[in-house]
Structure 1
Amino acid sequence: MYQFKDDVSFAKNLDQQDPLAPFQKRFFKVENEIYMDGNSLGMASKDAQESLLTSLEDWKKEGIKIWNTKDGLYFNISRLIAKKTAPLLNADAQEIIATGTITANIHQVLATFYHPTKERYKIVVDELNFASDIYAVQSLIELKNLDPKDALITVKSRDSRTIATQDIIDAMREDVAIVWLPSVLYRSAQLLDMQTITETAHQRGILVGWDLAHSMGAIPHDFKAIDADFAVWCNYKYINGGPGASGGLYINKKHFGKKAGLRGWFGNKDATQFQLNHTFDQDIDANGWLIGTPNIFSLTPLLGALQIFEEAGIHQIRQKSLHITAYLMYLIDHKLKPFGYTVGNPREDQFRGGHVSLEHEEAYRISIALRDLHVIPDFREPNVIRLAPIALYNTYEEVYRVVEILQTIIVDKLYEQYSINRGTVV
């Protein structure tokens, strides 16, 4: 499908033709450093900085009056971010809120939708999901006085990298209440067949929720077609909202009117919110799932960050992401295989997310060597170096240079300088 050449001039030519190239100037790229970790924490943009600093200046000037300034910008910030986020999901803005953290939002949706009965009380997860998701699911099961060993169905991987759609479907038994899965597996970058899984679950009377942490901002979703019941995501990876940026939450409008599992005063209707009644008057749409006062300095960078997505367009971003990651895989195949490197993610466009899962038996020490050579990847146990050439700010030439450096690390045995003992953040 893709035609590539193993030549740096070819990479430079691709950069000259890249329609997204102008957006690179909007990000704070560090000189002489190649950032390949946007799947874990996106780079800071000038747009996000401006939005954050503006909110700080407004606080300095207005104090408590900030809530009413600029036509209620800060009071209604979750709604404004929802409008900017909606095109990425092809969902209604009223179905989206920006709030909390991804794990807290998992607790919120499960507290809302997990009401086990004698007949239906089990939750389906996969064994390759991020640990925090599993902790949250186990916690909710225990809060219902059930045993996760009984109430949790874990779909096994056949190859320790991916999860087969049929295996997920086979787990959807009559006693299942909820299917909870990631859209993209964080280690192998596998993109699950969200529509088939959701449709099959619904045919069997099962609710479906998705963790979009590793797809939001990298992959265009169509939630009008997928028709998931709920979803959560973080905004600090591909969205570039900043470290610990407030997360996102989706509630399908068919569930409007359902009581929020976790309630707080910002989920109350605006008209009665400040009456401070002790009877919760839940808002009519996804805003009813808000809990506390919005974290302004964790939300305002998103106004700027999402402005870039409005201008670039998520479909154009996905097109380049697929192309530049395919180019990386091509170079791995042609230049790195003799040195023990392999690609551990699916190859087909429709089954992979926004990063490449590079495997090597010395992956940990190689990842540390990369950092000392001014390439920023991340490492995931047991043998994965995740490399994410981001469509908005990475270049094809950077990808070529990274592959050259990966080759040098093995040829010159640079990795041997490092300890095998794991650090905390790698």
Structure 2
Amino acid sequence: MARDITVDYAKELDKQDRLRKYRDEFYLQQDVIYMDGNSLGLLSKRAEQSLLLLLDSWKNHGIDGWTQGEHPWFYFSEKLGEMCAPLIGAEKEEVMMTGSTTTNLHQLVASFYKPEGTRTKILADELNFPSDLYAISSQLALHGYDPDEHMKLVKSRDGNTLHDEDIIEAMTDDVALIILPGVLYRSGQILNMEALTKAAHERNILIGFDLCHSIGAVPHKLDEWDADFAFWCNYKHLNGGPGATGGLYVNRKHFGQKPGLAGWFGSNKEKQFDLSIKMTPATDASAYQIGTPNILSAAPLYGSLEMFAEAGMDTIRDKSIKLTDYMMFLVEQELSDYQFTIANPTESERRGGHVYLVHEEAARICKALKEYHVIPDFRTPNGIRLAPVALYNSFEDVWKTVQILKSIMKEESYKKYENKRDVVA
């Protein structure tokens, strides 16, 4: 069937979709097209049920919920780590659901940043999500270094993407640690994590990745690539809920190293309740936990990760590519008169799970889209992110979104709004 711009073509694609049954697993609002799953994924019925199950264990067991019930809380973070491990190409002992993106980054920098001699700098990039840069800056300051001098930022040539060769060129002998995103949060560009890891290790530099915008959308092979560590949130493509417990990965070659930030839940579980003054750390990734697990913030992940195990990351990625390919095709065909620029990589192997459109009226356009019940994501200063998520968005959703965009532009209905972001964008 030749690709065309009709709704019938979109409906035919939906008939062929192997993941279409999962759409019914999510709470989709009637007549609303949700295109912001790369900021906050939607609630699934299974995530709701696993939350209620863990809530029920509190109701029925009280403090004994730590060791009793269907999912004893004392081992719940490890169980979720085991379920998540296939999504990033890791062994279960290397993955832990704990903390948040930024607290996990603080823990990992505190553990793996070891300045010595002229190797004092941390290499990052200017397009990374600012929270990562704030954490890196504060860690440098704690070591007595000026972040303006010791945080080395790779520059973008176009303001949207990075070149691997520019990153590798910046891996000089004054760099002690590298922290990069797996997928750039604005443009959705996938960095070549395998090549970058190889280049870093050839220069005797440890390297870790922020997987916030890649986990659940893009398959990873962290063990095969030999990445040193990674960290991520679970509320975007993994649909864990607002502020869901985060995750971290530590390559087993680093097992036995003491974490930089110690806390009692990083203890060897057999020794934890000895309550000794001297800590006995766990011997795997669970050593990098700090405080007591946030059970109710982690609970929805159990139901969500069940679906990922069933669907499989390769199938999810295949549909994601088709959805974003289709959206770019429609943008080119239907919006060519309205000055939109597709600023994400067009090659599927370099593109994550969303399309990034640049337009000088982006803030206004996003507000108009919401009036028409399409939920986009605005990024300062002029970006519109649209994320058709494989588990719950349809090809018809994509078709309708572009048609609504076309109508907004043709009728200039966006002009009734101010071209500036709201407090939360």
Secondary structure at 1:338 match in 2 = coil
Whether the aligned pair in 1 keeps the contact of 2:95 and 2:248 (CA below 8 Å) is yes
**Percent identity for Structure 1 against Structure 2:** 49
**Shift in Å at residue 135 of structure 1?**
0.2
2:100 is aligned to 101
2:315 is the counterpart of 1:316: yes
**Shift in Å at residue 130 of structure 1?**
0.4
Q: Distance in 1 between the 2:195 and 2:372 partners?
A: 43
Unaligned runs of 5+ residues in structure 2 are: none
Whether the aligned pair in 1 keeps the contact of 2:54 and 2:71 (CA below 8 Å) is no
**Shift in Å at residue 71 of structure 1?**
6.4
2:236 is aligned to 237
**Shift in Å at residue 72 of structure 1?**
5.8
Secondary structure at 1:32 match in 2 = coil
1:400 is aligned to 399
- The count of aligned residue pairs is 425
1:416 is aligned to 415
2:134 is aligned to 135
1:88 is aligned to 87
**Shift in Å at residue 185 of structure 1?**
0.5
1:12 is aligned to 11
Secondary structure at 1:302 match in 2 = helix
Query: 1:72–1:273: structure 2 CA closer, same or farther, 3 Å change rule?
Result: farther
**Shift in Å at residue 62 of structure 1?**
1.1
Whether the aligned pair in 2 keeps the contact of 1:371 and 1:377 (CA below 8 Å) is yes
**Shift in Å at residue 421 of structure 1?**
3.5
Q: Distance in 2 between the 1:350 and 1:421 partners?
A: 33
Q: Runs ≥4 in structure 1, deviation > 4 angstroms? A: none
1:425 is aligned to 424
2:168 is the counterpart of 1:166: no
Q: Distance in 1 between the 2:225 and 2:30 partners?
A: 42
2:61 is aligned to 62
Secondary structure at 1:174 match in 2 = coil
**Shift in Å at residue 70 of structure 1?**
2.6
2:254 is aligned to 255
Q: Distance in 2 between the 1:249 and 1:58 partners?
A: 26
**Shift in Å at residue 408 of structure 1?**
0.8
2:300 is aligned to 301
1:217 is aligned to 216
Give per-residue Cα distances to partners, 1:204-262, cap 9 Å, x unaligned.
00000100000000001011221110000100000000000000000000000111011
Q: Distance in 1 between the 2:71 and 2:271 partners?
A: 17
Whether the aligned pair in 1 keeps the contact of 2:342 and 2:357 (CA below 8 Å) is yes
Q: Which amino acid is 1:411 matched to?
A: K
Unaligned runs of 5+ residues in structure 1 are: none
Whether the aligned pair in 2 keeps the contact of 1:332 and 1:342 (CA below 8 Å) is no
1:77 is aligned to 76
**Shift in Å at residue 422 of structure 1?**
2.3
Q: Which amino acid is 1:339 matched to?
A: Y
Give per-residue Cα distances to partners, 1:299-321, cap 9 Å, x unaligned.
11000010010110011000000
Whether the aligned pair in 2 keeps the contact of 1:95 and 1:250 (CA below 8 Å) is yes
Secondary structure at 1:294 match in 2 = coil
1:334 is aligned to 333
Superposition TM-score, scaled by structure 1 size: 0.98
Q: Distance in 2 between the 1:59 and 1:399 partners?
A: 41
**Shift in Å at residue 341 of structure 1?**
1.3
**Shift in Å at residue 89 of structure 1?**
0.9
Q: Distance in 2 between the 1:242 and 1:337 partners?
A: 36
Secondary structure at 1:153 match in 2 = strand
Q: Distance in 2 between the 1:165 and 1:59 partners?
A: 49
Give per-residue Cα distances to partners, 1:41-82, cap 9 Å, x unaligned.
000000000000111111111111111113662110111001
**Shift in Å at residue 425 of structure 1?**
1.7
Query: 1:12–1:71: structure 2 CA closer, same or farther, 3 Å change rule?
Result: closer
Query: 114-123 or 325-334: which moved more?
Result: 114-123
Whether the aligned pair in 1 keeps the contact of 2:378 and 2:421 (CA below 8 Å) is no
Q: Which amino acid is 2:146 matched to?
A: D
Whether the aligned pair in 2 keeps the contact of 1:333 and 1:342 (CA below 8 Å) is no
Q: Which amino acid is 1:370 matched to?
A: L
Superposition TM-score, scaled by structure 2 size: 0.99
Q: Which amino acid is 2:266 matched to?
A: G
2:27 is aligned to 28
